[in-house]
Structures are given as C-alpha cells and as structure tokens.
C-alpha cells in the first residue's frame, strides 16, 4: 500500500502534476483503490443558512457586500427550514449536509447558538454535518464539537503567494489558524481550493503542498471550479480546461490518499463523460441539489434526479454516512 506522507516537496508535486495524463489517471486510480471503495460516491447537500452581506473582499464571491451581484443579503434561515431541507436530502440518499453562512468570522451570539441547534438536530438524523462559517476560535470549535459537528470547512483557496491577489481582508495565516483551532477538537477538517482564479501551475502546486503537508491531512479536500459571477472582479476569467481539473484531482488523490476528494462548485458545466474522468482520477464525492444551485443562484448545481441517473449509468452507488471515531494516534510518517 502507498504510505501517507507529510513531507512533500515542490518538485515532487510538480512532477506528479505533469505526468502524462493517462498515466497520471492510472496512478491516481490505483492509489484510490487502496484507500477507498471505488464503487461509492458520497453525495452532499450544501445549504446557505445565511446568504449575502459578507464584509470580505474575496474576488470570486457573489456574497461579498463590496460587489453588485444578483445575490442579496438575507437573514439566518429558521432552524425548522434547514432541518426540513436536510430531511428531504436524506431521503434521496444524501449522507452529508454542509451549512454555509456568509460571515467573516463566527461571533458568540444568538445566531451562533441557533447554528449549534441546527447541528444537533441534523446530526441526530444520522447525517454527517459540516459547517463553513468563516474564522473560528478554539472555544467556538469546541462548542461545535459538543453539538456533534462532523466536519468544518475552511478552504485555502489558492497558494500563499497568490492569496493576497484574491483576498485582502484576511491573511493566509488566518485560514491556517482556523484549521489549527478545529484540529484541537474531534471535528474533521475540510479544506481545498478553487481553480480558475488566474493562478499559475506553481500556485496550484503550492496550495496542494500546503494541504498535503498538514499533519494529519484534511479528511476532506474540495476541488472547486470558479463560477464567473457578474459584478465580481473575476467575472471575465476563462473557463478551466477539463484536463486541468482532472490533473488537480489526480494529484490531490496521490498526495492525500486517505482523504475524500470532492468535485465541488462548477461541476454543473461538466458533462457526464468529464465527470467520469474525475471519478477515475480519484474524486469520490459530489454536491447535489433540490433547487439546481449549490450555495446561491450564481453557482448552478445538478439536481438529485440527474445525479442519480449519472451514478446509475456509471455503476456507482451512494456512500452511507461515516461513523464518528475518536482520534487515535496519527500514522507514522512515510519518507
């Protein structure tokens, strides 16, 4: 079995990324089969529990209050509404509910208490629950753990070197600090990035190196494809070629073999054949929807019926929720 490493060097990662494509897919598929059931895909549902009005300046984001987009600020959803969405998702085979709030950071107030109640109720349904709420203190991470949270999402987005080109209202260190605060609990980490921000191959390699040298690796690594939102600074970015997407998925799979690699935002523009290549390269999770949007109307998402049809066509089944396990000693570093 290929060992898990935390000492990846830039030149090694670049060599993997630049491997001839079909050979790269084969290598990634071989690694994937050592750590995962290749016949199972986890289907997730992302719910925007607090939409719009975010004070940050992330250049890609439709929810920033700094840009004029079709997304308008809304109040926090009622708990009953969120739980009902989760229940309907569960009935379709979804095993992971992700709740996103357009906040810069979590504040210790009544809204956070309401989110904690949402986590408790949806966890009690037997689903994995992930939250993405912005920056998080160690104490807030512990409260989420006590509520039963399974995972916390905090993407790096891109490389440390390119980061300030995309975002100026928080630092790369801020993101890593939030991940470290989550690591002080039994909540798993979900962290990945976005393709199509204008980054170079060096930036893609740099982001993967940061993720792959975290110890332990993020249990979940989303690979997002930019949705070019009118009104944002990145609205005119070109589409990312499918083979760049496949290369990133395959490289992430080889570097972080035990992690779930999630084909996330932007999947709606990929054909079934293109998605099949992503699954061959090691992606083992998708986001599906009841309303054809992933988080907001600016990010289209395939619906439950079309995704079920695709999975059936490919002979793939929906993965059940994982059972929470207490932390054990980390595996030895393989040099």
**Active-site hit among 54, 131, 278, 301:** 54
What ranges make up the beta strands (E) of 139-263? 151-153, 188-190, 193-195, 220-225, 260-263
- Catalytic residue, from 44, 130, 131, 278: name it: 130
State whether residue 128 is helix, strand or coil: strand
Q: Name the active-site residue from 44, 96, 98, 170.
A: 98
- From the candidates 61, 131, 278, 301, give the one annotated as an active-site residue: 61
Q: Clarify whether 58 is annotated catalytic.
A: yes
Q: Where are the domains of the chain?
A: 10-318
Residue of 58, 131, 278, 301 marked catalytic: 58
The verdict on whether 190 is a catalytic residue reads yes
Helix, strand, coil percent content, the chain, rounded in steps of 5? 40, 15, 45
Give me the residues paired with residue 195 across strands.
225
- Token readout for 180 is 């470290």
- Would you call 130 a catalytic residue per the annotation? yes
Written as tens digits, the pLDDT of the chain (335 aa) is 778 999 999 999 999 999 999 999 999 999 999 999 999 999 999 999 898 788 888 888 887 888 888 778 888 999 999 999 999 999 999 999 999 988 888 999 999 999 999 999 999 999 999 999 999 999 999 999 999 999 999 999 999 999 999 999 999 999 999 999 999 999 999 999 999 999 999 999 999 999 999 999 999 999 999 998 898 999 999 999 999 999 999 999 999 999 999 999 989 999 999 999 999 999 999 999 888 877 777 788 899 999 999 999 999 999 988 765 444 333 334 43
- Known binding-site residue numbers: 54, 58, 61, 98, 130, 190, 262
* Prediction pTM value: 0.92
Of 3.20.20.70, 3.40.50.2300, 3.10.129.10, 2.70.240.10, which CATH number belongs to 10-318? 3.20.20.70
Return the structure tokens found at 72.
């308008």
Dig out the tokens for 172 from the structure: 């790369």
> Is-catalytic flag, 131?
no
What residues are designated binding site for [2Fe-2S] cluster? 98, 130, 190, 262
Is 54 part of the annotated catalytic residue set? yes
């Amino acid at each position: 079995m290929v060992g898990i490493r935390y000492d990846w060097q830039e030149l090694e990662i670049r060599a993997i990324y630049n491997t001839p494509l079909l050979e790269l897919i084969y290598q990634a598929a071989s690694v994937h089969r050592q750590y995962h059931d290749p016949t199972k895909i986890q289907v997730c549902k992302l719910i925007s529990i607090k939409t719009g009005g975010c004070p940050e300046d992330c250049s890609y984001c439709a929810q920033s209050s700094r840009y004029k987009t079709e997304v308008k600020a809304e109040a926090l959803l009622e708990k009953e509404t969120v739980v009902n969405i989760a229940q309907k998702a569960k009935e379709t085979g979804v095993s992971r509910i992700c709740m996103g709030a357009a906040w810069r950071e979590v504040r210790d107030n009544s809204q956070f208490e309401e989110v904690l109640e949402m986590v408790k109720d949806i966890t009690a349904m037997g689903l994995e629950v992930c939250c993405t709420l912005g920056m998080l203190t160690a104490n807030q991470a512990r409260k989420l753990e006590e509520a039963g949270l399974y995972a916390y999402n905090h993407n790096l987005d891109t490389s440390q070197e390119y980061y300030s080109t995309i975002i100026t209202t928080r630092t790369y260190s801020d993101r890593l600090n939030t991940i470290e605060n989550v690591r002080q609990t039994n909540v798993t980490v979900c962290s990945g990035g976005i393709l199509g921000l204008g980054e170079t191959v060096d930036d893609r390699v740099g982001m993967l190196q940061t993720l792959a040298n975290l110890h332990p690796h993020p249990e979940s690594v989303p690979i997002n494809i930019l949705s070019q939102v009118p009104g944002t600074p990145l609205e005119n970015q070109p589409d990312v070629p499918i083979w760049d997407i496949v290369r990133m998925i395959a490289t992430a799979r080889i570097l972080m073999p035990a992690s779930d690699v999630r084909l996330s935002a932007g999947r709606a523009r990929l054909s079934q054949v293109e998605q099949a290549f992503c699954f061959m390269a090691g992606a083992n999770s998708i986001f599906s929807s009841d309303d054809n949007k992933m988080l907001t109307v600016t990010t289209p998402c395939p619906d439950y019926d079309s995704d079920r049809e695709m999975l059936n066509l490919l002979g793939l089944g929906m993965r059940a929720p994982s059972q929470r396990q207490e932390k054990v000693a980390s595996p030895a570093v393989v040099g």
